[in-house]
Amino acid sequence: MTYDRLVCANCAAPVAEGRCRVCRASRQRMQDQEGPFAGLNPAMLIALMVILVAALALLAHQAA
């Protein structure tokens, strides 16, 4: 889950806005836990996979 959809129980504002210290702490903790591909949407991940498979197929074709 991403923090942009969470609502703070302390101030009832979106956590992404960071209005209170609880929001800011939660937002920072979740940002620290994100991996290198966390910012990519599923369509972008699929596009990267297609490009990778195409590149591997091209390399295999050239090697043969």
Could you tell me the residue ranges of all domains in the chain?
1-33, 37-64
- Report pLDDT digits (tens) over 20-50: 998 888 888 887 777 777 777 888 889 999 9
Please tell me which residue, 53 or 22, carries the higher pLDDT value: 53
- Count CB neighbours of 8 within 10 A: 20
Write out the H or E segment, with its range, that includes residue 27: helix 21-33
pLDDT band at 53 (very low <50, low <70, confident <90, very high): very high
- What pLDDT, on the 0 to 100 scale, is given for residue 54? 97
The whole-angstrom separation of Cα 4 and Cα 19 is 13
